[in-house]
Amino acid sequence: MTRTRFFIVLLAVVVLAHGTARTQVDVDFGFLAGGNLSTLTGDTGQIFTGSEFDGFETLTADLGTAKMGMTMGGFMVVSFDRDVSLRLEAIFTELGAKGTFTGVIDIDGLGLNDIEGDVSIKTTYVEFPLLVAFPLPVADRSPLHGLLGMSICIATDSEMRFDSVISGYLYSDPLALNHRVRSLNYHGIAGIEYTAYLNETPFLLGLRHEFGLRPFDENLGGDPDQEYKHRSWVATLGILF
């Protein structure tokens, strides 16, 4: 276990121990939705190797630009007191990255053609985050809480898409990457959340940083030691029923 994971587990245990010392436990349910900006770390210029890219004679790209995605799902909150709670979520989310590419491709009837354009990758997941919400030392009974936890992720679909123009014709080629993506994965979560009330209904405004998800089973680049990881910032709006 790395130091980061050990710290997360230790802090969660301490916070939960504090919460369970209180007598009152409440259970609530809610819905959340939001958007994210995700990137792919690693030497993204070497990402295109493998049999699925055999149609390209040469292919290089940069996937260093963040891509927008959506997040939505439901959650259950177990409150140990007004400040400390444990949350289990079930959400659908999209992670990816985008950028530009250049290469040479052999097209029937056109022969070898230089090609350049836009490239993007998108992987969808069903996630099950387990989070601890705890008070931040801002003010007494502050509506601002910290979030800390981890998420189990199940990949449902993955695709890489190339868009370009060749000899005046639009070229768009989606390539399935399901066989290269880990079907079961995990990542860490750290964030903050603000509770606002409208007609006595609580709304949860959150900002999270998700880190450490390794999306690919196999190395997609030329370096066998290269690791690619997703990082994302997620803005959420939740409502308790």
Higher pLDDT, 217 or 15: 217
Cα dihedral sign for 185, 177, 232, 205? negative
- Identify the pLDDT of residue 146: 93
Using the predicted structure, report yes or no on whether residue 86 has a pLDDT greater than 80. Answer: yes
Residue 59 pLDDT level (bands cut at 50, 70, 90): confident
Q: Where exactly are the structural domains of the chain?
A: 3-240
- Given a cut of 90, whether residue 213 has pLDDT beyond it is no
Q: What is the mean pLDDT of residues 217-236?
A: 74
Residues paired with 186 in a beta bridge = 152
pLDDT for 150 beyond 80 = yes
The single-letter code of the amino acid at 164 is: S
Check whether 101 has a pLDDT greater than 60.
Answer: yes
Q: Is the pLDDT of residue 57 over 80?
A: no
Which of 29, 4, 144 has the alpha carbon at shortest distance from 90? 29
The DSSP-derived string for 162-220 is EEEEETTEEEEEEEE-GGGB-SEEEEEEEEEEEEEEETTEEEEEEEEEEEEE--BSS--
pLDDT of 127-137, one tens digit each? 999 999 988 87
Mean pLDDT of the chain: 82
pLDDT tens digits, one per residue of 181-194:
888 999 999 999 99
Assigned CATH for 3-240: 2.40.160.20
The confidence band for 207, taking pLDDT boundaries of 50, 70 and 90, is very high
DSSP structural state of residue 180: G
pTM for the whole thing?
A: 0.82
CA dihedral 235, 43, 46, 126 (to 10 degrees): -30
